Amino acid sequence: MKDNKIKLMSHLVAGYPTDELAFTAARALVDGGASILEVQLPFSDPSADGPAIQGACTEVLKRGYKTEDGLIFIAKLHKEFPEVSIYLMSYGSLVYTPGVENFCKKAAAAGVTGMIIPDLPFDFDEGLTAACQKNGMNNIPVAAPSMSPVRLKKMATAGFPYIYAALRTGITGTETSVDKATIDFLKATGEGGSKLYGGFGISNGNQAKALADSVEAIVAGSVFVRIITENKDNSEDLYKAVRAKAEELTNKNN
Amino acid sequence: MTHSDNGFFNSFGGKYVAEVLRGPLDELEIAFKEAMADPSFIKELETIQRDYIGRETPLLFAETATNLLGGAQIYIKLEGLANTGAHKINNAIGQCLLAKRMGKKRIIAETGAGQHGVAAAAACAKLGLDCTVYMGEVDVRRQQPNVAAMELYGAKVHAVTSGSRTLKDAVNEAMRDWAANPDTTHYVLGSALGPAPFPDMVREFQSVIGREVEKQVKERGLDVAAMIACVGGGSNSIGFFSPFIDKKEPVLIGVEAGGIGDGVGENAARMTGNAGREGIMHGYKSRFLLDDDGQALPTRSISAGLDYCGIGPQLAALGCSGRIKFTSARDDEALNAVKFFAKNEGVLFAMESAHAGAEAIRLAPTLPKDKAIIINMSGRGDKDVFITSPVFRKTEWLSFLHSEIERLEANEDIHTAQIMGK
């Protein structure tokens, strides 16, 4: 019988709402079937994120949270869930300011295996791809449907092992419909042989099923951040709600 | 370095944006280049600059100020006389005309001091475009007169409550809107920063200031030693300096917000302060106020328009190469400059421009009388009455506000009653 489980890359903001609850959320995600954890290092100006994630980042930063704290959190996740890949998502400023090479070295040491930095575009990445390779990680560029066919082809054939396909224009956190245009975009993005992660506005099992055959894993972010926010006063409820949503998206119980 | 080289000014500039914004930026870049090479577009722009903006703006000899300071002759380029009260209209009209040419029906803009928002709203009203202005909640509070003007021009003002609730957060929100609606919407960025082609585009639309100065200086036979402009993001300064960048003279001076001190969070000095460093944020590489991790640091200035953590990439590059000399003026120096030029010249500087005025007050006495210095008065200070009045005449202002509140609460507003047909 064909395994109908769907691979899930799930997103969480490091340190949100607390380190402890963020860890509980990570455990729920893994128990719910997530095979990749995309951990966002909070940034003061997350221009590609929607209100749910930006609000979470702002709250964490108010506590004086530093990059170092985020990497300690990641190291703890890596130790606890060694079988789960951890991708670090953030913005160019946090990577560029301390030095790209320096940042990548520290990230790799914490257990990161991939970097997703949307505002360091693949052809002006300040050496991110090379620094990732040097440190045993992948730079995972983000493709968007609004890219010109020429530019998309350039990215698709640049030899990236993985590409994150943002499934519509706009920001994270609003609903995306998976239609023929979505599937065509995914085909074009994967043309050069890169494995694809597909996300942006994925919040339910039906979307996940519609995408499953076209991607290596689906990506869901804001939906989890919202669930975490709604349940941040009760650790047990938070665990249950996050796990249930992960199970829905991974089709785990079917 | 009058233009970017593929979006870069030396190492600064670029298009450091998520791919969702790359398409709209590339489309804009092509449209901008085509428009600037089209004589019919330039003619339409020049006509509206003359008839609507009121160009050219005068170059005023500040005779009393010159005599009082006892050094170089002080001239003031009166951009505050442009329709809507500041240089911002030059760029807003240029970009809105371009947007119309591109077939866009909707304009979004971000604003700090409010002057760019007012300019964008007015330009949209003039050109028949729908307008939404993003403004940090903090700025909405301190720039109510401008918010009222924007709404009168028909714009929707969206108060941004995320982050520090100031200009940088309004920029983020506007970028998000644009990323979601690139087909119908043009983002009129208000300063010479952000991803390419904005720094080139804003400079070109603002360079009308510098071109007029060049002509006016020649007509009067002035020997100009220095040109001084305030620098937030840097749109008035780069436009004012633009024709002079490739020349060795005059000295070009950019004045940053010195705020209340040298400490972190006390100013917005990216080029002259302690916390300015190279970074990548808001789509471009430049100098920013950042901590060691790369997080934006808080800024402070009495002038909302200078209260921003980054500086336009071309200005940063010209500062690093030494062509532009950067300095800063503190809040109290700017307030003194407002007073000085108001009393002695009958010119009410905007708080932003008053930073340039403060530098002129320091510089003029050190130069010989046969030299001239030119201050770019980027905007006029009517909008700042809520900032300056509590400083200059606190008791009277308090009493005025109390009486206004009482009057409003008692529903004695006869004008409103008339409009509502009561």
Beta-bridge partner residues of A133: none
Backbone angles phi, psi at B401, to 5 degrees: -65, -45
pTM of the predicted structure, to 2 decimals: 0.94
pLDDT tier at A181, thresholds 50, 70, 90: confident
Q: What is the pLDDT of residue B414?
A: 60
pLDDT tier at A1, thresholds 50, 70, 90: very low
Q: Which of B404, B148, B421 lies closest to B413, judged by CA?
A: B404
Q: Residue B166: list chain A partners with CB under 8 A.
A: none
Q: What is the pLDDT of residue B412?
A: 64
**What share of chain B has pLDDT > 90, as a percent?**
82
DSSP state of B95: H
**Residue B358 pLDDT greater than 70, yes or no:** yes
**Residue B422 pLDDT greater than 50, yes or no:** no
pLDDT tier at B190, thresholds 50, 70, 90: very high
Name every residue whose Cβ is closer than 8 Å to that of residue A251 and which is 6 or more positions away in sequence: A4, A5, A6, A205, A208, A209, A212
Beta carbons of A131 and A101 less than 8 angstroms apart? yes
pLDDT tier at A172, thresholds 50, 70, 90: low
pLDDT tier at A180, thresholds 50, 70, 90: confident
**Residue B38 pLDDT greater than 50, yes or no:** yes
Residues B99-146 have pLDDT tens digits of 999 999 999 999 887 889 999 999 999 999 999 999 999 888 878 888
Q: Residue B290: list chain A partners with CB under 8 A.
A: 93, 97
pLDDT tier at B162, thresholds 50, 70, 90: confident
**Closest CB to B179 among A66, A94, A169:** A169
Q: What is the DSSP string of B142-190?
A: HTHHHHHHHHHTTPEEEEE-STTSSHHHHHHHHHHHHHH-TTTEEEE--
| Interface contact A151-B22, CB threshold 8 A | yes
Is B24's Cβ below 8 Å from some Cβ in A?
yes
The lowest-confidence range among B136-145, B235-244, B346-355, B375-384 is: B136-145
Q: Considering only residues B375 and B407, tell me which one the structure prediction assigns the higher pLDDT.
A: B375
Backbone angles phi, psi at A8, to 5 degrees: -125, 130
Beta carbons of A172 and A194 less than 8 angstroms apart? no
Give the span between the Cα atoms of B287 and B294, in whole angstroms: 11
**Residue A2 pLDDT greater than 50, yes or no:** no
| Interface contact B280-A48, CB threshold 8 A | no
The lowest-confidence range among A222-226, B89-93, B364-368 is: A222-226
Q: Residue B296: list chain A partners with CB under 8 A.
A: 44-45, 93
A233's torsion region: left (phi>0), alpha (psi -120 to 50) or beta? alpha
**Residue A173 pLDDT greater than 60, yes or no:** no
Using a CB cutoff of 8 Å and minimum separation of 24, what contacts does B285-291 make?
B285/A96, B285/B11, B285/B12, B285/B13, B285/B14, B285/B16, B285/B313, B286/B12, B286/B13, B286/B193, B286/B310, B286/B311, B286/B312, B286/B313, B286/B316, B287/B12, B287/B311, B287/B316, B287/B319, B288/A93, B289/B264, B290/A93, B290/A97
Is A123's Cβ below 8 Å from some Cβ in B?
no
Nearest residue in chain B measured CA to CA from A152: B19
Q: What is the pLDDT of residue B270?
A: 96
Q: What is the mean pLDDT of residues B42-53?
A: 98
**Residue A231 pLDDT greater than 90, yes or no:** yes
Q: What is the pLDDT of residue A175?
A: 61
**Residue B66 pLDDT greater than 70, yes or no:** yes
**Residue B95 pLDDT greater than 90, yes or no:** yes
Q: What is the pLDDT of residue B420?
A: 58
